[in-house]
Amino acid sequence: MNLKQYFDKRVKIVADNDLTFEGAVCDYFPSEDNDNEQESIVVEIGNKDFIEFYPSDIKSITLT
């Protein structure tokens, strides 16, 4: 999964636990920067709430 393509865009994510999140991708981390060696994105949800997602956390992701 190429999460970098979603940087600075609005997305809708269905997580692996079937919860849905919508927001702006405000940060991207390549796999080299994470201990688990997976790339990740940070999504701003609502009013200053941030969630980091790894490919293994994401069931589906779409642009909104």
Two tokens at 41? 């994105």
Cβ atoms of 23 and 9 within 8 Å: the answer is no
The pLDDT, as a whole number, for residue 48 is 86
Over residues 38-61, the pLDDT tens digits come to 999 999 998 889 999 999 999 999
C-alpha 58/C-alpha 60 separation (Å) is 5
The pLDDT, as a whole number, for residue 47 is 81
Over residues 16-46, the pLDDT tens digits come to 999 999 999 999 999 999 999 999 999 999 8
C-alpha 57/C-alpha 32 separation (Å) is 18
The pLDDT, as a whole number, for residue 39 is 98
Instruction: Set out the domains of the chain in order of their start, with CATH numbers.
Output: 3-63 (2.30.30.100)
The pLDDT, as a whole number, for residue 57 is 96
